[in-house]
Amino acid sequence: MFKLDDRTEYLLNQVGCVLSPAQQAILPCPARFQLITGGGQAGKSVLASKKFLKEFIPDVLRARASGYTFPLIYWLVAADYDRTDQEFNYIRNDLSQLHLLHHASKRVDPGFIEVRGGPPEAPVLAIIRTKSAKDYRTLAKEAPMGIIICEAGQLDLESYLRLVERSAHHHAWMFLSGTMESSLGWYPQLRIQWAAGLDPTKAAFSLPSYSNVYLYPSGAADPEIVRLKAETPDSFFMERIEGIPCPPRGLVFPEFTVDLHVSADCQYQPGAPVSVWYDPGYGHACALEAAHVRGTEVDVFDELYIRGLDAEDVIDIAMGKVWWKDVRHLVIDVSGQYHQGQRPPVSQVWLQKTGLVARGQKVGVNEGSERFRWFLKVDPVTRRPRIRWSPSCRGILSELGANVNPLDHQIHTYNWDVDKDGVVRGKVPQDLWNDGIKATTYGLVDRFGYVILPNSRQLVKIRYYGRPGDNPR
């Protein structure tokens, strides 16, 4: 249990803030990255504003010692400007009571707060700006000292990763808070992973609604809380009242985590061989994954995830990509080698339009899943996951549970069929919401073969595709 320092306690007293016991247990945490999943009206916005009070003076001292340029910059970020309103008002009022408010905008779209404290010729020590994740340009102009993400569960994964990148320049702290809409997505995943305590720079907490003793004097025993627990499903109560993720049972790849397997650094490298893995589709999603393969490390850096287009249209889109000139390897679902009604085989269409000979073989569902799962593991030598995805690969990431599906903006994941008690039914997962996963699996099996099982004599063929002189690493 951490204890608040004297300076922060003094500032809280000056602004008349009395933290609840649950808030007192969170605010002193020294972790650079902190994540709060809270119930409705749990006091998340109040806690976020007091996080700024706690960090501001140490940031100023660090900046002066290191020669940083003033004013320091802080961000309040949300999916849109309106969601920054509560934190903005709390911080502005706190600074006013501390006689540190220099100037503040009346609106938050966008808004700013200026903190006084410098010499007469440069009185502004810091500026707090509101940012909307809808405008990516505003997330790349400055290097903040601290970032507060308001209603983080509403933010998309790519915006979060952009903010992580911006935090690196000044070694900025980050505070994420919000209510979970469900237990799937990048935000609940981070909550589960950070709460495990494996990384001392990252911490996660739950802030239940009933921890707000001003609204619920009896805490968890408050009659309204007892009524909600009795009248709502367990998963709803855990997520929306207690702020605890309750992931659905049956995910085929629970090993996947956003923090480990998704990286903004996963990008196309001009001149490096590109592998294209393709699962055709018309009524369901058509998934095309573009990847760099180096040794046993795979970076999936781009994706086509669309519906209702013929193979010719998909090829035209792919050939318009900047990475097309480096494509050396094409794998298509084995069904693409056969006629589809009156239409020619998909592999034949690719050959005619691109000159690429498509590889493909029949891949068993469970055998393919084991190969996919092997790549999700961390390599014991490099200590990196063997496969990573760019956040722009929204289709396959939605199938793995990281974000909503880009086709209908709903949550759909690749699952086993489970009964009401969570017991798996059947020997293979449901053949739904797995188009990107299947395309990637075909590519991995074609390139690396199947996983060798204990006591098996099966050999794994590892192929290398590239131009003469390319380094297979």
Beta sheet of 202-207, edge-to-edge order: 101-104, 112-116, 124-132, 72-78, 146-149, 173-178, 33-38, 202-207
In angstroms, the CA 110 to CA 130 distance is 6
Instruction: Give the integer Cα–Cα distance in Å for 406 and 408.
Output: 6
- What pLDDT is attached to residue 446? 95
The pTM (predicted TM-score) of the whole model is 0.85
CA angle 174, 176, 182 (to 5 degrees): 150
Compute the 3-state secondary structure of the chain and give helix, strand, coil in percent, each to the nearest 5.
35, 20, 45
From first to last of the 473 residues of the chain, give the pLDDT tens digit.
688 999 999 999 999 999 999 999 999 999 999 999 998 889 999 999 999 999 999 999 999 999 888 999 999 999 999 999 999 999 999 999 999 999 999 999 999 999 999 888 889 999 999 999 887 667 777 889 999 999 999 999 989 999 999 999 899 999 999 998 777 889 999 999 999 888 999 999 999 999 998 899 999 999 999 999 999 988 889 999 999 988 778 899 999 999 999 999 999 999 999 999 999 987 789 999 999 999 999 999 999 999 989 899 999 999 999 999 999 999 998 876 665 656 788 999 999 999 999 998 899 999 999 999 999 999 999 999 999 999 999 999 999 999 889 999 888 999 999 887 778 889 999 999 999 999 999 999 999 999 875 554 444 443 433 333 444 33
pLDDT for residue 168: 92
Q: Give the per-residue pLDDT at 462.
A: 39
Does residue 92 contact residue 114 with C-beta atoms inside 8 Å? no
Q: Find all residues with CB under 8 Å of 244, minimum gap 6, and list them.
A: 37, 206, 238
Q: What is the 3-state secondary structure (H, E, C) of 169-215?
A: CCCCEEEEEECCCCCCCHHHHHHHHHHCCCCCCEEEEEECHHHCCCC
What does each C-alpha distance from 142 to 67, 108, 161 come to in angstroms?
Answer: 17, 18, 15
Distance (Å, whole) CA 357 – CA 120: 71
Beta strand 417-418 pairing with 424-425: antiparallel
Residue 127 near residue 114 (C-beta atoms within 8 A): yes
**Cβ-contact 148, 48 below 8 angstroms:** yes
Omega of the bond leading into 71 within 30 degrees of 0 (cis): yes
Q: What's the pLDDT score for residue 341?
A: 57
Nearest to 224 by CA among 241, 206, 245: 241
Check residue 459 and give its pLDDT. 43
Q: Counting every residue, how long is the chain? A: 473
Could you give the strand order of the β-sheet that contains 387-389, starting from the edge strand earlier in sequence? 327-332, 274-279, 286-294, 297-306, 387-389
According to DSSP, residue 385 is labeled B
Tokens found for residue 152: 């983080």
Side chain identity at residue 428, one-letter code: V
**Are 163 and 136 in contact, with CB atoms under 8 Å apart?**
no
And the tokens for 3? 């204890």
Torsion of CA 95, 100, 104, 109, to 10 degrees: -50
pLDDT for residue 139: 76
List domains and CATH numbers for the chain.
Answer: 6-247 (3.40.50.300), 259-448 (3.30.420.280)
